[in-house]
A and B are shown apart, each in its own frame.
Chain A
Amino acid sequence: MTHALEISALAKTYKGGFQALKGIDLTVQKGDFFALLGPNGAGKSTTIGVITSLVNKTVGKVKVFGYDIDNDLEKAKSFIGLVPQEFNFNQFEPLLNILVNQAGYYGVDKKTALIRAEKYLKQLELWDKRNGPARELSGGMKRRLMIARALMHEPQMLILDEPTAGVDIEIRRGMWEFLQELNAQGITIILTTHYLEEAETLCRNIAIIDGGKIVENTSMKGLLAQLDGETFVLDLTPYQGNITLDNISYRIIDDHTLEIDLHKKQSLNSVFDQLSKQGVEVLSMRNKSNRLEALFVNLIAKKEPNTDNLHSNKKQAS
């Protein structure tokens, strides 16, 4: 079966000796919504750079829809739409020109390009700005312009490198809906983001990269199942006196807020029952922190001993 993306033993060492990728293997299925997460400097952008041919790899294989970038680079590129981390369009060009030119680079004729430009600019609420220079757009609008540009040749795989960075929550959620619609149409999406809530909401599969290595590669459900427990914040009707919960770790924050630590084998029903018996109603409930965030921190923290060693070595040296 042909995958949307197959990476094997990919390594990249930059001039100066920095080893950004240390032999990563990664497979993304067709139609997947895939998260590639990692701390700053982990190798996410380098991986994307190699896939899109902006970075020369040192060794390894990359195939896009079965086309090897070493042998069929142009064919492989034709499947990919890239939304890079930084704004990289000509700030002085009108939006329509940016989109029509981009389509032209993929061999799309002007007539078709204009139709698509209108479609995506309207969908992304930029149509009114189409004749103005890109520099007049707000940060959120520029992000949306880059998404529209990446879609002009109707790619089968969309790679988004932190597409919602610096975007306010309302626009971010609008972009999520738009990306989910694209994915529903069959477009494979690879997403890097620092908003773990974004990855948890959108993505079905996930890889976590750290120090140039893949430290986790699984389904989102599988990853979240690794959580031993979760902390919930419960908003309650105001109550008098003490609340007591048997076999549950809890903290009373104030007279209408309670935090509970629930092991994955424990049921929320037991908590609700106990509170109900004490005449306390639960008005709403939320996770204290993002579930993926907790796992992410745990996975990255596995490298902490090395950091500690570094610190202790430094101390010894000084």
Chain B
Amino acid sequence: MNNSIALKSILTKEIQRFTRIWVQTLVPPAITISLYFVIFGSLIGSRIGEMGGFDYMSFIVPGLIMMSVITNSYSNVASSFFSAKWQRNVEEMLVAPVPNWVIVAGYVGGGMCRGILVGLIVTLVSLLFVDIQIHNVWIIIATVMLTSATFALGGLINAIFANSFDDISIIPTFILTPLTYLGGVFYSISLLPEFWQGVSQANPIVYMVNAFRYGFLGISDVSLVASFSVIIFFIVCLFTTAMVLINKGIGLRS
């Protein structure tokens, strides 16, 4: 069995899915982020002044891009895999000799593609508002790849457990969005009181946003080593969990 063909098939199917419904998947993030730039950047940002040595608009750009990547990587896999479960077309893969790691890799790859594509769109939109500088392109690429993989895996696990469409919106609404807003997208955590700085360090999104911001601006509230260690730790944990769940057939086999 040629696993690379199976992987390519799942990946192609996933990319075809979100590009077929591009009005639902690619346009809304661009509009939302434009509003963030207008409201937080131009209107409020001009009164805030500098943050971390950069004007506020430049400071929030990496965080806003990362926020889009996180949200879209997660929601792509959560909705796609749950839809496949709900319509039962996941059975197309389950009856085929596709190893479970290929199924995980295919869906995660699809989520990463959408997350990164939306990230690119948001970056292009941000160029309308601010000149983007790049400190280290490799850190940008590494961070965006690893972060999108992390949240695509999270979306997959959410979809495995989900029994209804409500179940795939609970985690983004009650966990993902609050963690993202409190993850240093709009502020430097060094501005927080010491206690809340400590609390923030338990939020994995802080590490992702800061590593990404370092790639653009060369500033970060946490060390790069800590950032990449945290991201890789989460990838290993989430991948292992996803594999165990699919191997056992949780939510997939009766």
CA distance A275 to B211 in the complex (A): 97
Q: Is B194 an interface residue (CB 8 A)?
A: no
CA distance A153 to B93 in the complex (A): 13
Q: How many residues of A contact B (CB 8 A)?
A: 35
Q: Is A289 an interface residue (CB 8 A)?
A: no
Verify A74–B95 contact, CB threshold 8 A. Answer: no
Q: Is A47 an interface residue (CB 8 A)?
A: no
A54-B253, A88-B91 as given contacts; A107 in contact with B5, CB under 8 Å: yes
Verify B5–A82 contact, CB threshold 8 A. Answer: no
A16 to chain B, nearest CB (A): 11
CA distance A49 to B16 in the complex (A): 29
Verify B6–A75 contact, CB threshold 8 A. Answer: no
Verify A54–B97 contact, CB threshold 8 A. Answer: no
User: A49's contact among B93, B98, B254, by CB below 8 Å, is which?
Assistant: B254
Most central of A73, A93, A101, A104 by chain B CB within 10 Å: A104
Q: Is A92 an interface residue (CB 8 A)?
A: yes
Q: Is B89 an interface residue (CB 8 A)?
A: yes
B163 to chain A, nearest CB (A): 14
Verify B1–A74 contact, CB threshold 8 A. Answer: yes
A56-B249, A78-B1 as given contacts; A104 in contact with B88, CB under 8 Å: no
A101-B12, A107-B6 as given contacts; A55 in contact with B92, CB under 8 Å: no
Query: Which residues in B have their C-beta under 8 angstroms from that of A100?
Result: 9
Q: Mark A100-137, 1 if CB is under 8 A from B, else 0.
A: 11111111110000000000000000000000000000
User: A102's contact among B83, B92, B97, B249, by CB below 8 Å, is which?
Assistant: B92
User: A97's contact among B13, B87, B93, B253, by CB below 8 Å, is which?
Assistant: B13
Query: Which residues in B have their C-beta under 8 angstroms from that of A105?
Result: 6, 9-10, 92-93, 96-98
B79 to chain A, nearest CB (A): 13
Q: Mark A5-16, 1 if CB is under 8 A from B, else 0.
A: 000000000100
Verify B8–A104 contact, CB threshold 8 A. Answer: yes
Query: Which residues in A have their C-beta under 8 angstroms from that of B98?
Result: 74, 105
Q: Is A77 an interface residue (CB 8 A)?
A: yes
Query: Which residues in B have their C-beta under 8 angstroms from that of A55?
Result: 253-254
Q: Is A232 an interface residue (CB 8 A)?
A: no
Query: Which residues in A have their C-beta under 8 angstroms from that of B47?
Result: none
Q: Is B99 an interface residue (CB 8 A)?
A: yes
Q: Mark B3-32, 1 if CB is under 8 A from A, else 0.
A: 101101110110010001000000000000
With CB as the reference atom, state the residue of chain B lying closest to A159.
B95
B105 to chain A, nearest CB (A): 13
Verify B1–A109 contact, CB threshold 8 A. Answer: no
Verify B1–A107 contact, CB threshold 8 A. Answer: yes
Q: Is A274 an interface residue (CB 8 A)?
A: no
Q: Mark B68-83, 1 if CB is under 8 A from A, else 0.
A: 0000000000000001
| Chain A interface residues (CB < 8 Å from chain B) | 14, 49, 52-56, 73-75, 77-78, 80, 82, 84, 86, 88-93, 97, 100-109, 149, 153
**What are 11 pairs between A and B in contact, CB < 8 Å?**
A14-B254, A52-B95, A54-B95, A78-B1, A88-B92, A93-B13, A101-B10, A101-B12, A102-B92, A105-B92, A106-B96
